[in-house]
């Protein structure tokens, strides 16, 4: 038996450490007891990882126009066709669409190629669908995209508020950590704010099943009520913040009575929540897609942050506004500039920052303005503005809103390149060029989890067939496009070191992301790197558990900002024709579009087909019985799902899981029903709220 390889789980943003043991042909996985995220525990998905490692369905050879080719031919073709389109139509005619599944080193090279050398910022990522609103919230409040908290805060808080988060299913190990802490400290309270009664409510002290999309009013109400009781932290506000008066003025209309009416909650529940806040020393708000996936997602995030700033519940143990990311490396993507509105190392498109990155990269064609975010990017493919798109490690034909339109756009796009692990995804089926990528267990790099902890993903399997690392594929194409020396990488450690150096380049402590202490790591040191939370620099040589302990933020004056928040309901209200509200989300045992978790029988046993959760009274009005097939339709598309009647649903709303796709079931892609409505500030789609009609199939 070999010594265990320590790596990280490829699924959710908790980022658990995984110990992999190989013996002969057998591979087993267990939790890595040394990893700070999970201390040896794995959830059901993580513990089934060894069952997903077979090569069935894998893409193992490059393909161009349906023919298998060797790597030189594939790389030449990608470089030539991209260069032709750029020469004819300019750099804005091409785009990359990446993924929170990519490792930081892959992401870094993709971003550098597009923004520094091709000269457009048209690289966005499926992380746009998961946490773009949280990024805007943090940047507006703190002056930087900086998650203040640590997982340890879950154990130290007095009130844990899960808002728009079914952590019990979507972030299971973190939720279990919370539950264990609560057993040890029974005085700790757990509040769940969610229109649905999810598994996370099972042990909650208070569940606020509010009207979908009304969260900001609840947090405004809490801010106003605490102010009225004289329970704000006036010293903190005065010393460390700006904007409190305007935020309080915007909140003052939100009396408990008005909050109860607007959020459609019993007044007693609203006041019970406010009293819990008043009585507790520490509060921690854990928020996720239910907050972010909204046409006012950024404002909801700032309503949460306002409350923490005004209460002085930030920068100390057990406190803070804590955005939980969905993917294993959503945070790494943020760090390297994987979002179209960021440059690299958390820098934006201000003239000085653009010039700084240009000089560091010695980039000939630096992008000077933000590019297209995910929804706009595929709109631009549809209208022919973007004529070449390279999609890496993601399946937008299943996961983007208005997914049928995305499929049609890709069908008509002159050049679609897909880097993929699997041969037959709904998106790969539309590619002119398919490039076989390495999967988890085969690739080497780093990821950052929700608490800013950078961990290594390590290979323990040889590359199968002709599959190659994404950073290598991108570098080879870049070299063939004439950008040679800047992409002459031989090993991912060189890329990580460059990324770390850029984070510290001319950084006077004004940028949140700084891992300059890791610049210059050689291969050996990078191989052995143990998990640590950024920043890692001269001030924090071994990382930093909790940000803002000194009350200094990243705005130039060192102060945080409270913002006046005017709550808004979702953009499209139900109508006579589409009278219910469709909400989408994860289930416990599946991951994204099921390319990996769909392989294991024991994970499929939990829930084996798409379902539509309905309140029994809504079902009765529609003459739908439990277990019957239903047809769900919106203005954008339709699907079939089996009715599941449950009082866990609010009346008037239905829930459908996001995972199913054409590989598993006919007419089962829920995102084909979701309108392409986005938050104007974050570009994040409103995937939690689509007016829908449900009928018997
Ligand atoms: Fe993997 Fe998330 Fe489960 Fe941890 S909680 S084992 S990271 S899926």
CATH of the domain at 255: 3.40.228.10
Task: Indicate whether 431 belongs to any domain.
Answer: yes
Give the pLDDT band of residue 668 (cuts 50, 70, 90): confident
Q: Does residue 626 register a pLDDT over 90?
A: yes
Contact 122, 368 (CB under 8 A): no
**Residue 70 confidence (pLDDT) above 70:** yes
Contact 310, 232 (CB under 8 A): yes
Q: What is the H or E stretch that residue 72 is in? A: helix 71-89
| Mean pLDDT, residues 509-524 taken together | 93
Q: Are 113 and 31 members of one domain?
A: no
CA-to-CA distance for 498 and 518, rounded, in angstroms? Answer: 9
Asked if residue 27 and residue 146 are part of one domain, the reply reads no
Distance between Cα 15 and ligand 1 center (Å) = 6
Pocket test for ligand 1, best of 38, 588, 606 (most atoms within 8 A of CB): 38
Does residue 40 lie in a domain region? yes
Cα-to-centroid distance, 9 and ligand 1 (Å): 6
Per-residue pLDDT tens for 347-391? Answer: 999 999 999 999 999 999 999 999 999 999 999 999 999 999 999
388, 123 contact by CB (below 8 A): no
Does 285 lie in the same domain as 189?
A: yes
The percent of residues above 70 in pLDDT, for the chain, comes to: 100
pLDDT, residue 596, reads 84
The answer to whether residues 425 and 374 belong to one domain is: yes
When divided into structural domains, the chain yields a total of 4
Q: Specify the 3-state DSSP secondary structure of 98.
A: strand
In a domain, 498, yes or no: no
* Cα torsion angle, 305, 311, 316, 318, sign: negative
**Considering 326, 342, 359, which residue would you say is the last residue of a domain?**
326
Give the burial class of 540: count Cβ atoms within 10 A of its Cβ; 0-12 exposed, 13-18 middle, 19 or more buried: middle
pLDDT confidence tier of residue 128, bands split at 50, 70 and 90:
very high
Enter the DSSP assignment of 464: P
What is the spatial distance between Cα 281 and Cα 289, in angstroms, rounded to a whole number?
27
> pLDDT at position 629, please?
96
* Distance separating alpha carbons of residues 622 and 644, to the nearest angstrom: 13
Q: What pLDDT was estimated at residue 174?
A: 98
User: How many angstroms from the chain centroid is the CA of residue 510?
Assistant: 25
Predicted pLDDT at 592: 85
User: Do 147 and 281 fall within a single domain?
Assistant: yes
Q: Which helix (H) or strand (E) holds 283?
A: strand 283-287
pLDDT of residue 500: 98
The closest-lying atom of ligand 1 relative to the alpha carbon of residue 44 is 3
Ligand 1 centroid to Cα of residue 232, in Å, is 37
Tell which one of 37, 41, 45 to mutate to probe ligand 1, the residue whose CB is within 8 A of the most ligand atoms: 45
Residue 24: per-residue pLDDT: 80
From CA 578, how far away is CA 573, in angstroms rounded? 9
Residue 3 above 80 pLDDT?
no
Ligand 1 site, residue 62, Cβ cutoff 6 A: no
pLDDT for position 669: 87
For residue 580, give the 3-state DSSP assignment. strand
Do 120 and 163 share a domain, yes or no? no
pLDDT: which is higher, 398 or 204: 204
pLDDT band for position 675 (cuts 50, 70, 90): very high
Determine whether the shortest distance from the Cβ of 250 to ligand 1 is under 6 A.
no
Q: How confident is the model at residue 1 (pLDDT cuts 50, 70, 90)?
A: low
Q: Centre a 10 Å sphere on the Cβ of residue 202 and count the other Cβ atoms it contains.
A: 12
Is the predicted pLDDT of residue 182 greater than 80, yes or no? yes
- Give the pLDDT of residue 604: 87
Let me know whether 457 and 338 are in one domain.
yes
ipTM score of complex: 1.00
Residue 58: strand pairing partners: 422
pTM attached to this predicted model: 0.96
Residue 169 lies in a domain: yes
Q: Is the pLDDT of residue 2 over 80?
A: no
Q: Is the pLDDT of residue 342 over 70?
A: yes
The boundaries of the domain holding residue 611 are: 580-696
Domain boundary among 308, 326, 344: 326
Does residue 601 lie within any of the structural domains? Answer: yes
| Mean predicted confidence (pLDDT) in 494-514 | 94
- The answer to whether residues 592 and 608 belong to one domain is yes
Contacts of 657 (CB under 8 A, 6+ apart): 584, 585, 586, 587, 590, 607, 610, 611, 670
What mean pLDDT is reported for the chain? 96
Average pLDDT of the residues in 215-244: 98
Kindly state if the Cβ of 324 falls inside 6 Å of ligand 1. Answer: no
Model pLDDT, residue 608: 85
> Which atom from ligand 1 is nearest to the alpha carbon of 174?
5
Q: Which atom of ligand 1 is nearest to the CA of 43?
A: 3
Closest C-alpha residue for ligand 1 atom 2: 12
Rounded distance from Cα 171 to ligand 1 centre (Å): 7
Pocket flag, ligand 1, residue 19 (CB < 6 Å):
no
Residues 590 and 625 in one domain: yes
Domain boundary among 441, 474, 489: 489
* Residue bearing tokens 């190629």: 113
Is residue 8 over pLDDT 90?
yes
Which percentage of the chain shows pLDDT scores above 90?
90
Asked if residue 460 belongs to a domain, the reply is yes
Phi, psi for residue 128 in degrees, rounded to 5? -55, -30
- Mean pLDDT across 108-113: 98
């Amino acid at each position: 038996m070999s010594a265990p390889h320590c790596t990280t789980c490829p699924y959710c943003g908790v980022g658990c450490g995984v110990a992999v043991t190989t013996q002969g042909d057998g591979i087993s996985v267990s939790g890595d007891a040394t990893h700070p995220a999970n201390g040896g525990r794995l959830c059901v998905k993580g513990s089934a990882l060894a069952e997903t490692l077979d090569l069935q369905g894998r893409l193992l050879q490059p393909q161009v126009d349906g023919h298998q080719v060797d790597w030189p031919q594939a790389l030449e073709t990608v470089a030539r066709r991209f260069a032709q389109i750029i020469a004819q139509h300019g750099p804005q005619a091409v785009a990359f669409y990446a993924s929170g599944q990519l490792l930081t080193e892959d992401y870094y090279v993709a971003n550098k190629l597009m923004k520094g050398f091709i000269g457009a910022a048209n690289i966005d990522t499926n992380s746009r669908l998961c946490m773009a609103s949280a990024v805007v919230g943090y940047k507006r409040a703190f002056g930087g995209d900086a998650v203040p908290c640590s997982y340890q805060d879950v154990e130290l808080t007095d009130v844990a508020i899960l808002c728009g988060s079914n952590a019990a299913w979507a972030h299971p190990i973190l939720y279990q950590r919370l539950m264990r802490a609560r057993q040890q400290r029974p005085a700790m309270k757990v509040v769940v704010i969610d229109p649905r009664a999810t598994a996370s409510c099972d042990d909650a002290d208070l569940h606020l099943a509010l009207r979908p999309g009304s969260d900001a009013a609840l947090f405004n109400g809490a801010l106003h009520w605490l102010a009225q009781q004289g329970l704000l932290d006036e010293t903190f506000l005065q010393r460390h913040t700006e904007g409190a008066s305007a935020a309080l003025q915007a909140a003052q209309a939100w009396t408990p009575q008005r909050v109860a009416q607007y959020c459609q909650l019993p007044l007693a529940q609203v006041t019970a929540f406010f009293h819990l806040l008043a009585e507790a020393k520490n509060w921690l708000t854990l928020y996720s897609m239910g907050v972010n996936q909204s046409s006012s997602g950024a404002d909801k995030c700032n309503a949460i942050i306002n409350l923490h700033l005004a209460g002085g519940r930030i920068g100390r143990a057990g406190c803070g506004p804590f955005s939980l990311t969905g993917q294993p490396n959503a945070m790494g993507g943020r760090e390297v500039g994987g979002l179209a509105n960021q440059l690299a190392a958390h820098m934006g498109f201000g003239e000085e920052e653009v010039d700084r990155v240009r000089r560091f990269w010695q980039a000939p064609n630096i992008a000077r303005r933000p590019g297209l975010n995910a929804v706009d990017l595929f709109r631009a493919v549809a209208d022919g503005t973007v004529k070449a798109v390279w999609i890496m490690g993601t399946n937008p034909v299943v996961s983007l809103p208005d997914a049928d339109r995305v499929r049609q756009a890709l069908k008509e796009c002159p050049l679609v390149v897909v880097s993929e692990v699997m041969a037959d995804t709904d998106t790969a089926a539309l590619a002119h060029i398919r490039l076989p990528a390495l999967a988890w267990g085969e690739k080497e790099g780093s990821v950052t989890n929700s608490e800013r902890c950078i961990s290594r993903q390590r290979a323990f399997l040889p590359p199968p067939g002709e599959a190659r690392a994404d950073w290598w594929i991108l570098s080879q194409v870049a070299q063939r496009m004439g950008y040679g020396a800047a992409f002459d990488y031989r090993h991912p450690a060189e890329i990580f070191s460059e990324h770390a150096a850029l984070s510290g380049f001319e950084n006077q402590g004004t940028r949140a992301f700084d891992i300059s202490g890791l610049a210059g790591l050689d291969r050996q040191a990078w191989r052995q790197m143990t998990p640590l939370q950024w920043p890692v620099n001269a001030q924090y040589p071994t990382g930093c558990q909790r940000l803002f302990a000194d009350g200094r933020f990243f705005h130039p004056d060192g102060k945080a900002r409270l913002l006046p928040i005017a709550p808004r309901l979702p953009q499209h209200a139900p109508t006579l024709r589409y009278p219910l509200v469709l909400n989408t989300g994860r289930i416990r045992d599946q991951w994204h579009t099921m390319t990996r978790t769909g392989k294991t029988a024991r994970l499929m046993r939990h829930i084996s087909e798409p379902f539509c959760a309905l309140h029994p009274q809504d079902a009765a009005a529609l003459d739908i019985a439990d277990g019957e097939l239903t047809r769900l339709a919106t203005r954008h598309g339709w699907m079939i799902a089996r009715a599941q009647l449950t009082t866990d649903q609010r009346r008037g709303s239905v829930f459908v899981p996001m995972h199913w796709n054409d590989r598993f079931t006919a007419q089962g892609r829920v995102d084909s029903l979701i309108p392409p409505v986005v938050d104007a500030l974050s570009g994040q789609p409103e995937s939690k709220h689509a007016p829908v009609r449900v009928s018997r199939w």
